[in-house]
Amino acid sequence: MEQIIAIVVRNQPGVLMRVAGMFSRRGYNIDSLAVGTTEKPEFSRMTVTMDADEATIQQVCKQLEKLVEVEAVKVLPPDSSSKRSMILLKVHAGEKRIELLRLAEVFRAHAVDVKGSSLTFVATGDEGKLRALIQVMEPYGILEMVQTGLVALERGDTSLRVESSRFSWPRE
Amino acid sequence: MKLTGAEIMVRCLAEEGVSTIFGYPGGAILPFYDALRTSKIKHILTAHEQGASHAADGWARATGQVGVCVATSGPGATNLVTGLATAYLDSIPVVAITGQVARPMIGHDAFQEVDITGITMPCTKHNFLVKEPAQLAHTLRLAFQLAKHGRPGPVLVDVPRDVQTELIEYVHDKLPEVGLPQPDMERVNRAIAAINQAQRPVMLVGGGVIRADAEYDAMHLCEKLHMPVVSTLMGLGAISAYRKLFLGMTGLHGHERANNAVKEADLILAVGSRFNDRVTGERSSYGANKKVVHIDIDPAELDKNIYSNIGIAGPMKQVLNLLEQGSKVKDLSPWWQRIESWTSMEEDFGDEQAPLFLKALNAVIKDKDYIVVTDVGQHQMWAAQHLKIQFARQFITSGGLGTMGFSLPAAMGAALARPQSRVISISGDGGFKMTGSELYTISTHKIPVTAIVFNNHGLGMIRQLQTVQFEKRFTSCEFPGYVDFVRYAEAFGVKGEHVKTPEQLAEALAKAMELDEPYLIEVEIDPKDMVLPMVVPGLGIGDFVKFEEKK
């Protein structure tokens, strides 16, 4: 089952390697990964998606919590979380620019570059929507594409906030 | 007050109460060594950095205090890695300080540059590269705190050479205490109910009991309930082997009585054990037909290897005391009758000769403040099976990583940490050849370690595995060359003798224990001797190997 794990970590060099290293060392596969800072500059938030059963995901969370730079871990409920990833897609347009632009509208994808004989679209959405966009664009000839990892927040008032670290860290 | 980074490093060690460190200098750590010259901290120059890391580990195992080792950048740092991994797998508090090339050189593949924080990430609890001189003191304090906090472990601090020479403001400081996770009382109560219901309970003690100094708390609980106790390799000493409740070691080379008790128990109360594969054998059958109550300071150990019906994460002493308060005394005599029908740990080693050497040592070490440090292999298992360990921290061994070459340097660390005790190092000839050069350090500082070398002219455990798993297709398990270890010791200025019988060994050891200097005893062992009992590889812990025609 596809699981979404939100991880709040200290925003320090090497922390990505520690988290990623834990996954590879213990034989877990990351499907997607996104990292960015939070409203507090000393913390970053990672979103990891992976295919795992209940027992495995529990173990993953506990192993993550063991890393001293990890401050909070939560498995997000897939049905009540807002999930997005972003795609940039460069498609061969040739004579079919108008057709492509119309198609893109269906996915609320915007053209961000129209130079030459190609079009570059940007779109956001959950995995299913972006996969559908790729399928639709495929026949025209995808020249290049790049995708971010999934980011997700739980819906409603719950929040994964960290007020302060467990340990006292040296000041920057 | 402004001090150099190196002076601050020395101050921080003093703040932590460090009296002795083990290390080896090199270019990138020289400012630290220069600052150390005028300090009261004693530096033990080892023969090799690996020796320094094992010595720091031995120090920590013998005392519970943080052991400290130091090395330079590059090869100095990489030579620590085996020792750090050893400490990591056995949860030993060690702080390793390494020099690093100067900050402007980092990433340029400079002379003696390695990414040691990258290398040691998976085998330390945490590590730091100090890039900001202002963060140096705080980082070192945090390193010590992390090494000790909760489940202990090694922490490495990598300090670039120019950070060591920079002038920095130094303020004496102490980090705030960090609390431990508190046990879930609902689970504690369920555990108490399960213990009170059990007809055939067994307590399984692991190294976590010793790490937490909770051996008396564990003993009080099982004494109160008259509950049989088995131990993992790392738990030996948590319960005295002379106590009637103690059934022996459990695991792949466990005693028959201990393993059978685990197999037939209706409740296993596992305290401070992580259910390593050497303890459980085949995992899926291990917890069948029984309840498993698992207590550990590290929540990640619960349900990692063995599913527990009740898992409690929390401080060992506290949880054990809660269980003792809540549990009720019950008549377990039918269970004890069943247990006593199995071969006891006194008699289940077949007709092997080698165990007799260990048994002979029991009279020498009984009730004495002697520490036994083993290496890895057959002698380690014979020692674990046949030595009667009475006290926590009396038996020091590399359990998790199984590091050959561990014994002699770790014994050196233990001997310096506990000068009132006497330290016996036991190795095989294979492991002794790996780090035997630490005889130099032992001799130089007149560290009274008695090194016993079990010489079977080969790798006995490899021979045993090739006997059982590879139909006696022996390869690379025999040493064609001959080493006279007594003469080897003499070259370092250490006296020694050869012995051939268990009686001679006991006599030689008793004599050596009176000496105030190192000594070496080489014991001639039959290469064909095996470690028995032995569980069939891949089977459950009640399935012992039967040797029809062993030799």
Q: Tell me the domains of chain B and their CATH numbers.
A: 2-169 (3.40.50.970), 185-340 (3.40.50.1220), 354-524 (3.40.50.970)
A167 within some domain: no
C-alpha distances in Å from residue B452, one per residue of A115, B48, B307: 79, 21, 41
Tokens of B58: 């031995």
For residue B550, pLDDT over 80 is answered with no
What DSSP string describes B214-228?
Answer: -HHHHHHHHHHHT--
Structure tokens, A79: 């049905």
Which chain A residues have a beta carbon less than 8 Å from that of B297? Answer: none
| Token pair listed for B60 | 């920590």
* Pick from B122, B135, B302: CB nearest A170: B135
pLDDT of B376 above 90: yes
Chain A residues whose beta carbon lies within 8 Å of the beta carbon of residue B142 = 167-170
Q: Which residues pair with A75 in a beta bridge?
A: A5
- Cα B10 vs. chain centroid, distance in angstroms? 28
**pLDDT confidence band for B347 (50 / 70 / 90):** confident
Cα A140 to Cα A129: distance, rounded to the nearest angstrom: 18
Q: Tokens at residue A65, please?
A: 């919590």
CA-nearest of B408, B417, B398 to B443 is B408
Question: For tokens 């398990």, what's the residue?
Answer: B477
Mean pLDDT is lowest, of B76-85, B104-113, B275-284, for B275-284
- C-alpha distance from B200 to closest chain A C-alpha (Å): 28
Q: How confident is the model at residue B349 (pLDDT cuts 50, 70, 90)?
A: confident
- Of the candidates A76, A105, A131, which is a domain's last residue? A76
Q: How far apart are CA B95 and CA B347, in angstroms?
A: 42
Positive or negative, the CA dihedral B193, B198, B204, B205 is positive
Identify the pLDDT of residue A117: 94
Last residue of a domain, one of A48, A76, A104: A76
> Which residue out of A62, A73, A169 would a mutagenesis test of the B interface target, given it has the greatest number of B Cβ atoms within 10 Å?
A62
pLDDT of amino acid A129: 95
What is the enclosing helix (H) or strand (E) of B157? strand B154-160
Distances (CA, A) of B180 to B126, B150, B314, B316, B473: 18, 6, 7, 11, 51
Domain residue limits at A49: 2-76
Q: Which of A76, A98, A132 is the last residue of a domain?
A: A76
Interchain proximity A62–B300, CB inside 8 Å: yes
Three-state secondary structure of B474-534:
CCCCECCCCCCHHHHHHHCCCEEEEECCHHHHHHHHHHHHHCCCCEEEEEECCCCCCCCCC
Q: Is residue A171 a part of any domain in this protein?
A: no
- Between A and B, how many CB-CB pairs are < 8 A? 54
pLDDT at residue number B411: 98
Distance CA B545, CA A25 (A): 33
- The mean pLDDT of B451-473, rounded to a whole number, is 96
Element (H, E) at B428: strand B422-428
The reply to whether B132 touches chain A by the CB within 8 Å rule is yes
pLDDT tens-digit series, residues B201-256? 999 999 999 999 999 999 999 999 999 999 999 999 999 999 999 999 999 999 99
β-pairing verdict for B167-169 and B449-455? unpaired
Cβ-Cβ contacts under 8 Å for B227 (sequence gap 6 or more): B201, B202, B203, B221, B245, B269, B332
In angstroms, the Cα distances linking B113 to A12, B26, B79, B110, B157 are 22, 12, 13, 5, 15
Q: Which residue of A has its CA nearest to B143?
A: A169
> Are A51 and A115 found together in one domain?
no
Tokens standing for residue B508: 């030689």
Residues A29 and A60 in one domain: yes
Residues A60 and A90 in one domain: no
pLDDT score recorded for residue B346? 82
- Whether residues A86 and A72 fall in one domain: no
Comparing CA positions, the residue from B207, B226, B233, B389 lying closest to residue B301 is B207
Is A66 within 8 Å of B138 when comparing Cβ atoms?
A: no
Q: Does A128 touch chain B (CB under 8 A)?
A: no
Residue A158 lies in a domain: no
Total domains present in chain A? 2
Q: Residues A66, A45: one domain?
A: yes
What is the secondary structure of B311-368 as a DSSP string? EEES-HHHHHHHHHHH------HHHHHHHHTSPPTTT-STT-SHHHHHHHHHHHHTTS
Question: What would the mean pLDDT of B513-528 be, rounded to a whole number?
Answer: 96
**A166 falls within a domain:** no
Whether residue A138 is contained in a domain is answered as yes
Q: Report CB contact under 8 Å: A167, B125.
A: no
Q: Chain B contact for A27, CB < 8 A?
A: no
Cβ separation B300–A59 shorter than 8 A: yes
Q: Residue B545 above 70 pLDDT?
A: yes
**Residue B551 pLDDT class (50, 70, 90 cuts):** very low
Interface contact B414, partner A, CB < 8 A = no
* Closest-approach residue (CA) in chain A for B174: A168
Chain B CB contacts of A65 below 8 Å: 299-300
Contact B225, B267 (CB under 8 A): no
In a domain, A170, yes or no: no
Mean pLDDT of B83-107: 98
Which ipTM did the prediction report? 0.93
The CATH number of the domain holding residue A89 is 3.30.70.1150
Query: What's the burial of B286, exposed, middle or buried (CB within 10 Å: 0-12/13-18/19+)?
Result: buried
What CATH number did the domain enclosing A40 receive? 3.30.70.260
Backbone angles phi, psi at A169, to 5 degrees: -100, 150
Q: Which 8-state DSSP code applies to residue A95?
A: T
Is the domain of A22 the same as that of A67? yes
> Does A115 contact B at CB distance below 8 Å?
no
Does A59 share its domain with A104? Answer: no
- pLDDT tens digits, one per residue of B285-309: 999 899 999 999 999 999 999 999 9
Q: Which residues of A touch B121 (CB under 8 A)?
A: 14, 17-18, 21
User: With an 8 Å Cβ cutoff, is B138 touching chain A?
Assistant: yes
B419 burial type by CB count under 10 A (0-12 exposed, 13-18 middle, 19+ buried): exposed
Tell me whether B121 touches chain A (CB under 8 Å). Answer: yes
The angle, 0 to 180 degrees and rounded to 10, between the axes of the packed helices A97-106 and A127-137 is 160
Cα–Cα distance for residue pair A109/A122, rounded to 1 Å: 5
Q: For position B201, what pLDDT does the model report? A: 98
Query: Which chain A residue lies closest to B140 (C-alpha atoms)?
Result: A170
Instruction: State the burial class of residue B336 (Cβ atoms within 10 Å of its Cβ: 0-12, 13-18, 19+).
Output: middle
B86 three-class SS? helix
- Please indicate whether, in this complex, the C-beta atoms of A17 and B300 are within 8 angstroms of each other: no
Q: Does residue B481 belong to the interface with chain A, where contact is any CB pair within 8 Å? A: no
For residue B524, the cross-strand partners are B455
A28 and A45 fall within a common domain: yes
> Do A110 and A63 sit in the same domain of this protein?
no
Q: Are residues A72 and A85 in the same domain?
A: no
Residue A83 has what pLDDT? 96
A68 touches chain B (CB under 8 A): yes
Of the candidates B122, B139, B300, the beta carbon closest to that of A21 is on B122
Burial class (CB in 10 A: 0-12, 13-18, 19+), B376: buried
The pLDDT score that the predictor gives to residue A14 is: 93
Q: B22 is written with which tokens?
A: 């083990």
Per-residue model confidence as pLDDT tens digits over A126-166: 989 999 999 999 999 999 999 999 999 999 999 998 999 99
**B549: pLDDT strictly greater than 70:** no
Q: Are residues A67 and A89 in the same domain?
A: no
Nearest to A72 by CA among A172, A169, A163: A163
Q: What is the pLDDT along chain A (172 residues), one digit of tens a residue?
A: 899 999 999 999 999 999 999 999 999 999 999 999 999 999 999 999 999 999 999 999 999 999 999 999 999 999 999 999 999 999 999 999 999 999 999 999 999 999 999 999 999 999 899 999 999 999 999 999 999 999 999 999 999 989 999 999 998 7
Which residue, B435, B467, B459, B208, is CA-closest to B319? B208
Instruction: For residues B486-490, give the mean pLDDT.
Output: 98
Chain B closest-CA separation from residue A62 CA (Å): 5
Question: Do both A72 and A91 map to the same domain?
Answer: no
Q: What pLDDT is attached to residue B345?
A: 84
Chain A contact present for B171, CB below 8 A: no
Residues of B whose CB is below 8 A from A167: 142, 145-146, 175, 178
Question: What is the pLDDT at residue B548?
Answer: 57
> Is A62 touching B (CB cutoff 8 A)?
yes
